[in-house]
Structure 1
Amino acid sequence: MEQPVDFEALNANDFDVEKLFKDQGWIKYFDMLNGPVYPILVKDFWPRCDIIEQADAD
């Protein structure tokens, strides 16, 4: 499955942004985003979701 943030591909295309995120302490967040994904669970979950506006939630 494709990773949401692929620093290697960005770097290969002359977008070396990984250091910027490291300096800000965001690498653990990106590690979490690029962590395990359960595609069957995601496919089952999203059709059952309701999208609402923040104002309606308040």
Structure 2
Amino acid sequence: MASYQSPEDVILVLIIDFKDDLDTEEITMAITRIRTSIKNEFKFTHYVIIQPE
């Protein structure tokens, strides 16, 4: 889900189903990598909320 606050301000909410064998630290690291990649690629995305399913 994405919420457009203004033409250059987006909030992105992702619910991601991670592999069952990942521990909390691995999921946290994956979330950080995903969030950083999205923000680097799409500069107008100011907030990236990621919730593990």
Query: TM-score under structure 1 normalisation?
Result: 0.28
Query: TM-score under structure 2 normalisation?
Result: 0.30
Give the strand-richer structure, 1 or 2. 2
- Pick 1 or 2: higher relative contact order, CA cutoff 8 A, min separation 6: 2
